Amino acid sequence: MTPESRLPALGRRGGGWVGLQVAFLGAAVAAGVFGIAWSTPARYWLAAAGALFAFAGAALLLGGGIGLGRQLTPFPRPVANGALRQDGVYRMVRHPIYGGALLLTLGWALISSPLAMLPLGFAAIFFDAKRRREEAWLVEQYPGYTDYQLRVRRCFVPWIW
């Protein structure tokens, strides 16, 4: 048993992980809506940077979803009879949908409010734990997943993380 597999399944397919994900991302949206705005001198630069991060996040998320095709599921447990994806954006990063969600959330925080950075930090920790739980299932289902992990070192954002 790998240390990663000691994380709880939170349901047969990992539905609890999905619920927590929605809560963290919802908290970031609420913090941006109800939090105080960034100070005026920095607001425009932060909004421009936020738009770039949001665009990159949307592209990464979309690339991951398209790459999975019919295998796309909100649950961390991979679908039965699926295939290990190693092409497209999956050549650069193992979890582009999670990375895209984090970049979108960062973009939102930079556009909206510094308060939104707090749930973003918790979401980053959460997505890393969810990734470890999911990868334990992927190792069980796909014999080549361990080799894939060695080839594709970045988990969320190409060239960075």
Q: What is the pLDDT of residues 84-108, one digit of tens each?
A: 999 999 999 999 999 999 999 999 9
Q: What is the pLDDT of residue 5?
A: 66
| CA distances to 12, 47, 74, 92 from 136, in Å | 14, 38, 17, 20
pLDDT at 2: 41
Q: What is the pLDDT of residue 77?
A: 96
Q: Is the pLDDT of residue 147 over 90?
A: yes
CA distance 127 to 47: 24
- Average pLDDT on 141-156 reads 97
The mean-pLDDT minimum among 38-42, 49-53, 125-129 falls in 38-42
pLDDT of residue 41: 87
Distance CA 149, CA 31 (A): 35
The pLDDT > 90 percentage for the chain reads: 94
Q: DSSP character for 95?
A: -
Cβ-contact 102, 161 below 8 angstroms? no
Amino acid (1-letter code) at residue 79: V
How much is the pLDDT for 76?
96
* pLDDT(4) > 60: no
Q: What is the pLDDT of residues 113-133, one digit of tens each?
A: 999 999 999 999 999 999 999
